[in-house]
Amino acid sequence: MSNPDDVVVVDARRLLCPMPVIRVQNAAKKLSPGARIKAICTDPGALNDIPAWSRINGHKIIEITSKDDEHIIILEVGEQ
């Protein structure tokens, strides 16, 4: 298991659906269970798409925050 302090940042700003979730998916494929991904998005659709994709694929949403036009979604990679 990876150290939870190690976070892979996925910069999906200025990308529209479905690109933010695809970028997160590609990052998750390269990581071990327990690793964390911090997705930074400007598409508000990512607030639904990434959590839905996470549930379907066994990942866990840790935190979702929004400030101004940026949305940050932190998830923990599950078993793949």
Q: Catalytic residue numbers?
A: 17
The two three-digit tokens of residue 35, written as one number? 């690793």
The two three-digit tokens of residue 7, written as one number? 């976070």
- 55 sits in the region (left: phi over 0; alpha: psi -120 to 50; else beta) called alpha
Tokens 């508000």 — which residue? 44
Task: Note the residue count of the chain.
Answer: 80
